[in-house]
A and B are shown apart, each in its own frame.
Chain A
Amino acid sequence: MTPKLTRRRFIKSVIFFGAAASSGAGFYLASAAAQRPAGGVERLVSLNVNGRTRRVDVMPQETLAHTLRYKLGLTGTKLGCNRGECGACTVTVDDVTNYACSTLTHSVKGRQVVTVEGLRAADGTLHAVQQAFIDELSPQCGFCTPGQIMSAVALLKTNPRPTREEARQALSGNLCRCGAYDHYLNGVMRASGQLS
């Protein structure tokens, strides 16, 4: 294997250029899915992710986290527990936070999915929350950060100047094993212009 042909690139090319996922890209479920009885949903769906329409082949039982990470290459969305118990996979669907590990991809058809990759402006300027989290040194290890950012972004959309307690509530569905909760809250207060 040449150094350029990484597994991720291989998977991306398989997905983007229309070959079926069952061509051996490592999805052990794909062959089982092919034997599925007829009926139910169409597998080829259009998803609106980060403002772009993406055509993608989605298994009926596939979670949004799986689609984002392994089919669309959007690995900013992390999988921590994969059971809706940590918040690392938080994305917004129509501006509302969801656990992508506990959402069926087929249930977000026709809805606006935003991941951490979709936050920065076209010119590369970071979202206010992203910049504030950097300024406040909010992350320690950083694994939970994309989820924390998405929860904070969703909060500020509905409540641009939250109290610290409201921010605490809004971010309560995101675990941080480093315990950097207060640093994230500082970040939210800075992003909302309440900390200079």
Chain B
Amino acid sequence: MPAYDNMPAMELYQPVQVEDALSLASRLADRGWLLGGGQDTYGWIKDRAKRPEALIDLNGIESMRGIRETSDGIEIGALATLTEISTNPLISERYALLAKAASVVASPQIRNVGTIAGNVSQDVRCWYYRRGLDCYRAGGNLCYADTPEAQNREHALFNASRCVAVTPSDTGPALVALEAQMVISREGGQRVVAAEDFFVGPAINITRTTVMEPGEILTAVRIPAKWANAEYFYEKVADRNVWDFALVSLAAVMRTEGGNIQDSRLVCGAVECTPRRLRSVEQAIQGQPRNQATADMVAGMASEGAQPLTHNHFKMPLMDNLVQRALTA
């Protein structure tokens, strides 16, 4: 497939009110494309792998910017950039997990324009799909990544259903760990969805990675006070520290009392199509001290039930070792 330097002709709308954006999104539906930082947009269009008729540039909407303190935590405007999030004093102080996750996305220039909403809504990185092949996710009836010869070392260990792509988001696991709430607006209303339910796997909807319907816009992310100032661990393992997507990432928050873990949430990125909560580990470490003995006790538990493909077995010990680190860090 040839790659083109320029994008084909499209309409561009630059609404400044969220109502105008919602009415455009609703009118254009599948023909429109919401544009935040655009870093997961231009590649698709330059490659002619996706062909929206119109871009709806949301960057002029002031009400979707900024990071505010609320009565129960903070509210992050959907257009807050990853740089803003990683350097914001409020987030760095209380939700350092999220600041850390935002600081390891892609490269500095991408973080300068990439938004939190875009980071959680970005499409999967399977190169067969990105190449514009007619796979399940693209509406076809074949998976090019799940064959004996396929290059699938970045692909899924869990809950694959026809499609074996994984969630590429670095902030997604952190938001699930922090029990964030996603504020989704549409014309004439809005709904609030828990981050954990925001992401959907291929068994539920193979053409999308989130619950967002055409016509809807993610306008804000709320983080409750529940995990403010909690102990945390975040690590992203990738081939390169810049640009590359996670091979496996782990976001964890913990509350300890008297040296024992009272409550915790551990969430893995890049092992299935959605951020994966490690519930069995969370249950096993409850009431245990955060130390090597506990880490030994849960060794191997994180990757239990994994169904690796030809080239991604290495992700299983990677998951387990990240859990070890989270418990001994």
Contact = CB atoms under 8 A, between A and B. Distances in A.
Contacts of A83: 42-43, 46
Contacts of B147: none
B8 A32 contact: yes
A61 B45 contact: yes
Interface residues of B, number: 32
A98 B13 CA distance: 21
B1 interface: no
B109 A107 contact: no
8 contacts: A29-B7, A33-B9, A40-B12, A61-B6, A61-B8, A96-B112, A102-B110, A103-B38
B11 interface: yes
Contacts of A28: 6
Contact of A103 (B13, B43, B113): B113
Given A61-B8, A61-B9, A173 B108 contact: yes
B127 interface: no
Interface of B: 5-14, 35, 38-39, 42-43, 45-46, 54-55, 57, 59, 83, 106-110, 112-113, 241-243
B107 A36 contact: no
Contacts of B11: 36-37, 39-40, 60
Contacts of A103: 38, 113
Interface of A: 27-29, 32-33, 35-37, 39-41, 59-63, 66, 79, 82-85, 87, 90, 96-99, 101-104, 106-107, 151, 169-170, 172-173
Closest 5 A/B residue pairs (Cβ): A173-B107, A60-B12, A61-B7, A40-B11, A173-B109
A63 B7 contact: yes
Given A35-B9, A82-B46, 10 more contacts: A27-B6, A40-B54, A60-B9, A66-B5, A83-B42, A84-B42, A84-B43, A102-B38, A104-B38, A170-B108
Given A90-B109, A151-B108, A173-B242, A106 B8 contact: no
Contacts of A66: 5-6
Nearest to A43: B12
A166 to B, nearest CB: 11
Contacts of B112: 96-98
B9 A97 contact: no
B107 A87 contact: yes
Given A61-B55, A83-B46, A29 B109 contact: no
Contact of A97 (B6, B13, B108): B108
Given A84-B109, A98-B112, A102-B39, A172 B9 contact: no
A63 B243 contact: no
Interface of B is mostly: mixed
A151 B112 CA distance: 12
Contacts of A102: 38-39, 42, 110, 113
Contact of B14 (A79, A106, A169, A170): A106
A190 to B, nearest CB: 21
B9 A36 contact: yes
B59 A107 contact: yes
Contacts of B83: 96
Nearest to B53: A37
B110 A99 contact: yes
B45 A97 contact: no
B108 A60 contact: no
A107 B35 CA distance: 11
Given A40-B54, A99-B110, A173-B109, A61 B10 contact: yes
A69 to B, nearest CB: 11
B104 to A, nearest CB: 11
Contacts of B12: 40-41, 60-61, 104, 106
A173 B10 CA distance: 29
Nearest to B242: A172
A172 B109 CA distance: 9
B105 to A, nearest CB: 11
A22 B38 CA distance: 26
A15 B210 CA distance: 43
B215 to A, nearest CB: 18
Contacts of A59: 9
A3 B242 CA distance: 45
Contacts of B57: 104, 106-107
A79 B45 CA distance: 17
Contacts of B54: 40
B111 to A, nearest CB: 8
Given A29-B6, A40-B13, A60-B11, A169 B108 contact: yes
Nearest to A61: B7
